[in-house]
Amino acid sequence: MDFIRRACISIWAKKGKSLLMLILLFVLCSLVFAGFAIQSATEKSADIARKKLGGDVTLNLNMDKLMKDMEAGKQPGEIPPLKLESIDKVKDLEQVASYQYLVDASAAKVDKAPVKSEEKR
């Protein structure tokens, strides 16, 4: 156990360097513990914000699957609309405070003839 005695002698002989290393070690440990504290506080504040703000649920058609089916040569046929039973299952949950039902639609011209304007601009 001679190395312990020699370590003590070396520390005592190099007081300035040993003190500087001790201070550096203390600062590094403090920064690491501060990082852990900040990480913990961030996680807690994110949980609180999620609880206060609530969440949104969106029911959509799986367009990726539809595009892959079309690329594979399968004809998708008629795109199934979202059923009201699916919406009722979600809106009747106790966690749901309110809901809004939106529908997107598109229109296309059938004869493909250009529309003539009466005025030239």
Residue 29 clears pLDDT 90, i.e. is over it: yes
pLDDT bin (cut points 50, 70, 90) of residue 37 is very high
DSSP 44: H
What residues does each domain of the chain span? Answer: 1-54, 55-101
CA distance 37 to 29: 12
Contacts of 29 (CB under 8 A, 6+ apart): none
What is the model's pTM? Answer: 0.41
Contacts of 61 (CB under 8 A, 6+ apart): 79, 80, 82
